[in-house]
Structure 1
């Protein structure tokens, strides 16, 4: 009986993938609560059905096939747990943002489609419960009643996110590795887009922001502590490839509970920028001292990752904070000086920084060659690309590489987009970046929270130019969702003031001012 819905999805998985991304797009751009709720519920139900139907005949599903009763019981228990968590979120709205932030870094290794994937299972549960908490009351509400007023209204950013997601699904239909594209849609694009919608609709009060800040920084400190233990004991808890790499080199890289030192470093960078943004907006000595201690602890954890991409991302984020605090003119000269000193240091002693100027491919761990190969793939199919998820397959074919252990991910998001999605996808990607930066940076200097979000997003973009995972990283969607909500709340304040002023003028003779209190609620 469990096989029935999966069998129904089986004959046309490509069509199912397109329907899934169309539902996600509708959830992103819908202007009515009911339509958004319908689209979100459809995407949430369809994505796992498509995924399980795709891997139904694989060895890891043998237990489910052989024991359908036990599998059905597990599904029922899981749905009951989701319902309970959704009910708690409905009663206590603070739970959703707190649990979402807390679940962002935790990945669990699971065998999918013949390979091991590190999946954000806790975050999936939070997103599913949050979606359920939103969908049920939205669908039960009387459709004849007027829409409740909300600060967030979908704009160009949501339209471009929807466009990119739809392109991703459509271009998966002619990919040489459709299974990977489908997994990306089910594991990343669908749940993370729903996360964006949920976070964008939250009222981010100072209390909510402080609580999420405490969770983010607290996790960063805990992860750093685990990294210290790894370095002291010379024992890596996860990632067999990193263990082997450490045994071959004189240096030792830590990854804490992450499967990748660079993704670990990315998380620490986000936490450090949040702390730095708060320190720039206070003059209290105790707060500055505590912030300095926290930054030192996080910095030590970051150093032990030896993640060059994370170091560069941190510098980019700090530069954004400096511009927002002191302006471009005061920041430009120090930034140029730092870049110049770094360049001179690398040129003077390239070996110290692991750089071989005569062999850039070796000094970049093969990434220079991967970027060049990605460029060649783009030149072969510049308009439509090879299809989403196809980079590794096409790169191996183009370069006749058969080793399954060889790294063939481009580690440079624009190159991946260009090779897989061609000019069409590349234009959508560039437009998305431009609109996202405008939304997050405009007015970001007003508060520490908005400055931290803007700086973190710029740092993440820089990181993806050197490493990987842009829209495949939940941090991207979380930063966009929170930043969108904060920008909408800031834009709503002048409108409320004008409305209060108009109400006051209308309630007094000859347009006079009222003497009653018209102060605004905290936003």
Structure 2
């Protein structure tokens, strides 16, 4: 219970950092951000202090000194980064875009290593300190008065997003794997929520979003080069499971510097969607040609991942872009044509998609066990419909209910709504559905009038589609960044867009009256 209370307090502090943002609550929001920023590592340290990984360091020569030096070094880097970001605030979005995809496998316990976004954590910590510093000790303006940043008021989607994190922390109370919930909150939800606050409360423009996309595209090209090298040399980096799979399978999958080919494929798909949006809305032939060339390179890279969920996410995202650019009916017709071609391929040559038949076992094998996991998740939800098995408890509950005694790594159902339903019950599922509705409503409304908003809307939809076949929703920092930037852009342009529409409607009513 003590762990749940501490976890809930840290999650609530992260939520208050956003909910209190505004003219009257900036100092309180900054204080809440500081509590969340330092509280999450403290809780995590207490959780892993007695694990074998930390014990090996503690029991070694000068183990305590090594841990203390690492902590002080991290604090020093964060403080230095905060000073740099406070002096050059424009560097933050570009730094986030540069480090966003990079994960480092770290052993934090007795289970398998966790892939942590260490570079992003350093940038997030520096950004959070700079954000709080600016509000607790604001600069003095030309008139001699302190210049307090005027943060925008959070909307319903913003509030529901951070409150979902609080709900997740509360529901860890009855989980059989509370350490998993602690890792989820401390490693992912709280740091990403703080980054969301920083990005959501800054002023975004289409030009700044374009520069961030250019940085992401450059990173994607570098990662694609690594992927091509892996394929050419038949060498896979980082992931032993992919290496073992490539040794027995006919096809060869690459994962570049990512731990999983699906994560690599998802990143490539999202960058391709952003570039496709800029190409579709551009009127300069050189821009179209250059962007098309980059997309062609990334398309070759994503094919080598053999990630079915990434292919599907890319197709759905392109359909969204087509609907925003050329009209929904044309996009709907093109989507139906693609689906028809895919259905013909599945029926005429099922082995081309690794499908030997249409039985339960055949479908389960073709989807790498996802059919069985989905059925198990639905069963867990049926047994615990109201509040679920507890946050982070899917793997333990699934093994106990479906595969007792089998030591198989099962983190989630690979279908996020089912995972949420199994762990958090109808309460968590209801919050998730409402959150998705509010987010899509915000991002898609009149997104066709802005290339940046159209790109973000397509990318978010693609990412949501990807979560239907791969277990990563709020654990993915890309989603938080897209929601923050998309929300800021929508808030900036919405008042200017509504007035002309009202005037047109008034003119039309007046014309009909006469």
What is the TM-score of this pair, normalised by structure 2?
0.91
Name the stretch that deviates more: 42-51 or 393-402: 393-402
The residue that corresponds to 1:512 in the other structure is: none
Structure 1 gap segments, 5+ residues each? 1-10, 498-523
Is residue 442 from structure 1 mapped to residue 445 from structure 2 by the alignment?
Answer: yes
Change (3 A) 1:495 1:131: farther
Change (3 A) 1:496 1:328: closer
Counterparts of residues 219-298 of structure 1 (less than 5 Å) = 219-298=219-298
Structure 2 gap segments, 5+ residues each? 140-144, 501-514
Counterparts of residues 46-445 of structure 1 (less than 5 Å) = 46-62=39-55, 63-64=57-58, 67-115=63-111, 116-141=113-138, 148-150=149-151, 152-355=152-355, 356-358=357-359, 359-407=362-410, 409-445=412-448
| Counterpart-to-counterpart distance in 1, 2:434 and 2:232 | 45
| Counterpart-to-counterpart distance in 2, 1:37 and 1:406 | 39
| Counterpart-to-counterpart distance in 2, 1:283 and 1:42 | 48
The residue that corresponds to 1:25 in the other structure is: 15
Measure how far apart 1:59 and its partner are.
2.2
- 2:54–2:109 contact (8 Å) kept in structure 1: no
Query: Paired residue for 1:483, among 483, 486, 492?
Result: 486
User: 3-state DSSP class of the match of 2:12?
Assistant: helix
- 2:135–2:148 contact (8 Å) kept in structure 1: no
- 1:223–1:256 contact (8 Å) kept in structure 2: yes
CA RMSD of aligned residues (A): 2.0
User: 3-state DSSP class of the match of 1:109?
Assistant: strand
| Counterpart-to-counterpart distance in 2, 1:74 and 1:57 | 18
| Counterpart-to-counterpart distance in 2, 1:292 and 1:408 | 38
| Counterpart-to-counterpart distance in 2, 1:102 and 1:217 | 9
The residue that corresponds to 1:460 in the other structure is: 463
What is the TM-score of this pair, normalised by structure 1?
0.89
| Counterpart-to-counterpart distance in 1, 2:316 and 2:103 | 27
Measure how far apart 1:446 and its partner are.
1.3
Q: Which deviations, in whole Å up to 9, do the C-alpha atoms of 1:263-305 show, x marking residues without a partner?
A: 0000001110011000111122111111111111000000000
The residue that corresponds to 2:505 in the other structure is: none
Is residue 39 from structure 1 mapped to residue 32 from structure 2 by the alignment?
Answer: yes
The residue that corresponds to 1:508 in the other structure is: none
| Counterpart-to-counterpart distance in 2, 1:368 and 1:241 | 20
Measure how far apart 1:467 and its partner are.
1.1
- 1:21–1:166 contact (8 Å) kept in structure 2: yes
| Counterpart-to-counterpart distance in 2, 1:188 and 1:148 | 27
Change (3 A) 1:285 1:146: closer
User: 3-state DSSP class of the match of 1:112?
Assistant: coil
Q: Which deviations, in whole Å up to 9, do the C-alpha atoms of 1:298-332 show, x marking residues without a partner?
A: 00000000000000000110010011111112222
